[in-house]
Amino acid sequence: MVRNLFRGTDVNSYEQVLVALRRVIRATDLHSKRLSKHAGLTGPQLLIMRTIRDLGEVTIGTIAENVSLSQATVTTILDRLEHRKLVYRVRSTRDKRKVHAHLTEEGAEILARAPNPLQEDFIQKFQSLAEWEQTMILASLQRVANMMDADDIDASPVLTVGSVLKDDGWKEKP
């Protein structure tokens, strides 16, 4: 047991670890809700739109590679963004097998107003740490994932939390 300095009570270490994990999950969830409220976008939608903006004329495969999502997932998200008239796709004139995604003017405007993805803020703070501290955090989190039998769970650096539905979390306004 360790002494909880904030509450002045004895608390098991594992309880503190579980609380810290819940805080990480909650922070991710709150950021996702803030993003949805302010920009009307999910985290993956925002990342895909930013990738299109940053890379210009870009294929779905390149987008998928850059955001660490499958091509099928990116296609589904692009379908929703295209339905909302935030992106459009054009078949390549040089290679008919390729389709390029582009932002619409409205998509660019929404993207300009959108907050940073949570992982961008995290990356900046993480990279400002000393190398030994980065290594310690990585090793600790990898050990926690192993202890939770999560080694084989497919996960990407895109941080999202929410219901596991067929869609990517976007709800059309009536």
Please report which confidence band the pLDDT of residue 29 belongs to, taking 50, 70 and 90 as the band edges.
confident
The domain tally of the chain equals 3
3-state secondary structure of 130: coil
**CA separation for the pair 14, 112 (Å, rounded):** 42
Other Cβ atoms less than 10 A from the Cβ of 67: the count is: 20
Flag whether pLDDT at 170 surpasses 80: no
Token pair belonging to 115:
């907050």
Please report which confidence band the pLDDT of residue 172 belongs to, taking 50, 70 and 90 as the band edges.
very low
Looking at the structure, tell me whether residues 90 and 60 fall in a common domain.
yes
Q: Which domain holds residue 20?
A: 1-39
Query: Does residue 5 lie within any of the structural domains?
Result: yes
Looking at the structure, tell me whether residues 63 and 101 fall in a common domain.
yes
Looking at the structure, tell me whether residues 64 and 79 fall in a common domain.
yes
Question: Environment class of residue 114 by beta-carbon count within 10 Å: exposed (0-12), middle (13-18) or buried (19+)?
Answer: middle
Flag whether pLDDT at 90 surpasses 80: yes
Other Cβ atoms less than 10 A from the Cβ of 128: the count is: 9
Token pair belonging to 75:
């296609």
What sign does the CA torsion over 35, 36, 40, 44 have? Answer: positive
Looking at the structure, tell me whether residues 140 and 88 fall in a common domain.
no
pLDDT at position 173: 38
Question: Environment class of residue 84 by beta-carbon count within 10 Å: exposed (0-12), middle (13-18) or buried (19+)?
Answer: middle
pTM listed for this prediction: 0.64
